[in-house]
């Protein structure tokens, strides 16, 4: 039987804007490392009904959503000062399917129902689709996602003394759909359509709406994943506490997120601070020309046409 690497080597390939080859797997562009992990997960991962799967394309608010959901599900286990989020990046509290759980579903803390993936809906392991586990998906204005993604890779390359590409080059590839787990719009649409078909299984969130009223969305998420706030908790401000603990200001100023590293000792080691840049809506205005914005908006309109979704 062909190895995963052999299968990947036969897939359509392009140069990504950060230098490596990227491959088209099940309709989405991705690096060898993550495709291999996803293939393993598709083969090995067995979901439990109690699982809560955080799904997202890259740079759409994953770090934040992981923190919020982790804080929600652990609120009765830890008190205000002992929550692991004070000493750990949220990516170290919520395992990533295609890396941490690729080999075995049991490689998990049995007390933690959360896991995450950047895989598109069509590539999720069958057991996630078939089991009664919950999925929470977050998406974001593609203009802000692109700008965030560009800065992320520019900083990553700079940390390895490599020259980042021009923003124009990244923009062009993004428009063509060639970005990590892109085409971005197809990723969003996959989960959007599935959430319309199965609203009890998939909660579809937008970063901008969550920024606008985080308290409301924390309550919604908690209800959806089966960890609703009691009347007493609502009265004593438990929701606001979680919102504050997971705010950009709070998390980005924690020592672990200023100086720590994620996945130290692996080929994909990253400084924690790279997951925190500005955390704002509309920062694209500082980087994209009006022409670029019009072009991205028109692709978004065209791609989402008839879906009932706006971004
Ligand atoms: P910007 O680059 O626009 O600042 P992801 O977590 O999916 O990698 O997305 C990263 C984006 O989420 C970055 O956006 C980052 O700053 C922002 N972010 C990280 N933590 C956040 C938080 N607690 N609240 C809001 N945004 C956050």
Round the average pLDDT of the chain to a whole number and report it: 95
The answer, yes or no, to whether residue 106 has pLDDT greater than 80, is no
187 classed as catalytic: no
Cα gap 247→265, rounded to integer Å:
29
Band (pLDDT 50/70/90 cuts) for residue 198 is very high
Nearest CA to ligand 1 atom 26: 279
Q: Is 91 touching ligand 1 by the criterion CB < 6 Å?
A: no
Q: What is the pLDDT of residue 44?
A: 93
Above 90 in pLDDT, residue 299? yes
Say what the pLDDT of residue 81 is: 84
Q: Does the structure show a pLDDT above 80 at 107?
A: no
pLDDT tens, residue by residue, 216-260: 999 999 999 999 999 999 999 999 999 999 999 999 999 999 999
Three-class HEC string of the chain: CCCHHHHHHCCCEEECCCCCEEEEECCEEECHHHHHHHHHHHHHCCCCCCCEEEEECCCCCHHHHHHHHHHHHCCCCCCCCCCHHHCCCHHHCCCEHHHHCCCCCCCCCCCCCEEEECCCHHHCCHHHHHCCCEEEEEECCHHHHHHHHHHHHHHHHHHCCCCCCCHHHHHHHHHCCCCCCECHHHHHHHHHHHHHHCCCCEEEEEHHHHHHCHHHHHHHHHHHCCCCCCHHHHHCCHHHHHHHHCCHHHHHCCHHHHHCEECCCCCCCEEHHHHCCCCCCCHHHHCCCHHHHHHHHHHHHHHHCCCCCCC
- Percentage of residues in the chain with pLDDT exceeding 90? 86
296, 288 Cβ separation under 8 angstroms:
yes
Confidence band for 88, pLDDT divided at 50, 70 and 90: very high
What pTM was computed for the model?
A: 0.97
Return the pLDDT at 164.
Answer: 84
Domain ranges of the chain: 13-304
pLDDT in tens, 31-70: 999 999 999 999 999 999 999 999 999 999 999 999 999 9
Q: Across the strands, what pairs with 53? A: 115, 135
Give the pLDDT confidence of 256-298 residue by residue, as tens digits: 999 999 988 877 789 999 999 999 999 999 999 999 999 999 9
What phi and psi values does residue 153 have, to the nearest 5 degrees? -70, -35
Does the CB atom of residue 60 touch ligand 1 within 6 A? yes
Confidence of residue 18 (pLDDT cuts 50, 70, 90): confident
3 CA from centroid of ligand 1 (Å): 36
Catalytic entry in 118, 151, 187, 262: 118
Q: How far is the CA of 110 from the centre of ligand 1 (A)?
A: 28
pLDDT at 269: 87
How far, CA to CA in Å, does 283 sit from each of 10, 84, 206, 279, 293?
A: 38, 30, 16, 9, 12
Residue whose CB lies within 8 A of the most ligand 1 atoms, among 64, 118, 151, for a mutation test: 64
**pLDDT at residue 80, rounded to an integer:** 75
Any atom of ligand 1 within 6 Å of the Cβ of 246: yes
- Its CATH architecture, for the domain 13-304, is 3-Layer(aba) Sandwich (3.40)
């Amino acid at each position: 039987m062909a190895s995963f690497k052999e299968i990947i080597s036969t897939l359509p390939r392009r140069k990504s804007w950060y230098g490596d080859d990227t491959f088209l797997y099940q309709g989405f562009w991705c690096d060898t490392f993550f495709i291999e992990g996803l293939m393993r997960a598709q083969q090995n991962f067995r979901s439990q009904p109690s699982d809560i799967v955080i799904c997202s394309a890259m740079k759409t608010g994953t770090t934040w959503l992981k923190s919020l959901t982790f804080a929600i599900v652990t609120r009765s286990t830890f008190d205000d000062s002992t929550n692991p989020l004070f000493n750990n990046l949220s990516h170290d509290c919520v395992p990533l399917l295609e890396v941490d759980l690729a080999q075995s579903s049991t490689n998990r803390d049995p007390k933690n129902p959360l896991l995450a993936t950047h895989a598109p809906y069509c590539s999720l392991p069958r057991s996630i689709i078939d089991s009664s586990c919950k999925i929470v998906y977050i998406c974001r204005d593609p203009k802000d996602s692109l700008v965030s993604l560009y800065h992320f890779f520019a900083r990553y390359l700079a940390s390895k003394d490599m020259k980042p590409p021009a923003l124009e080059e990244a923009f062009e590839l993004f428009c063509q759909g060639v970005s990590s787990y892109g085409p971005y719009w197809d990723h969003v649409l996959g989960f959007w359509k599935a959430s319309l078909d199965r609203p009890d299984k998939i909660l579809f969130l937008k970063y901008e709406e969550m920024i606008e009223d985080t308290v409301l969305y924390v309550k919604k998420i908690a209800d959806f994943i089966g960890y609703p706030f009691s009347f007493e908790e609502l009265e004593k401000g438990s929701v606001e506490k979680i919102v504050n603990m997971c705010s950009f200001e709070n998390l980005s100023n924690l020592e672990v997120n200023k100086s720590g590293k994620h996945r130290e000792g692996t080929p994909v080691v990253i400084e924690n601070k790279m997951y925190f840049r500005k955390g704002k809506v509309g920062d694209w205005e500082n980087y994209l020309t009006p022409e670029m914005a019009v072009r991205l908006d028109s692709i978004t309109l065209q791609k989402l046409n008839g879906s009932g979704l706006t971004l």
